Amino acid sequence: MRALMWLLLAVLVIFALRKKNQSRSTPVNPAQMRPDAADDMANSTADIETMLCCERCQVYFPASEAVMRGEKVYCCTAHADQA
Ligand SMILES: [Zn+2]
């Protein structure tokens, strides 16, 4: 009975994921887009920005905020200078 419950859960998850993918892949006519829809898109791409790990404090931060020192990356100039 427990196995059946897990199977049902797995099917639900697959359905949920498919629904999500479908809504993303639907073609959007730019003329029909709301003026703020572009902002929504910009925000969603920011959410999936590459995360980097600071060489000093091991904290993950967006790649756009990275401070480079040679081959190494740091979360801030303070940590880059301390290393
Ligand atoms: Zn750091």
Inside any domain, residue 82: yes
Q: Which residues pair with 52 in a beta bridge?
A: 61
Determine the 3-state secondary structure of 7 from DSSP. Answer: helix
Residue 63, domain extent: 49-83
Alpha helices in the chain, H assignment, sequence order:
2-25, 37-47, 77-82
User: Tens digits of per-residue pLDDT, 1-43?
Assistant: 788 888 788 878 877 888 887 766 556 666 666 667 666 666 6
pLDDT at residue number 41:
63
Residues in the chain: 83
Model confidence band, residue 47 (pLDDT cutoffs 50, 70, 90): low
Inside any domain, residue 35: no
pLDDT at residue 44 tops 90:
no
Inside any domain, residue 17: no
Distance 55 CA to ligand 1 centre (A): 7
Number of structural domains the chain divides into: 1
Distance 50 CA to ligand 1 centre (A): 16
Location of structure tokens 């479908």: 22
Distance 66 CA to ligand 1 centre (A): 10
Inside any domain, residue 68: yes
Inside any domain, residue 81: yes
Inside any domain, residue 58: yes
Inside any domain, residue 26: no
Distance 42 CA to ligand 1 centre (A): 26
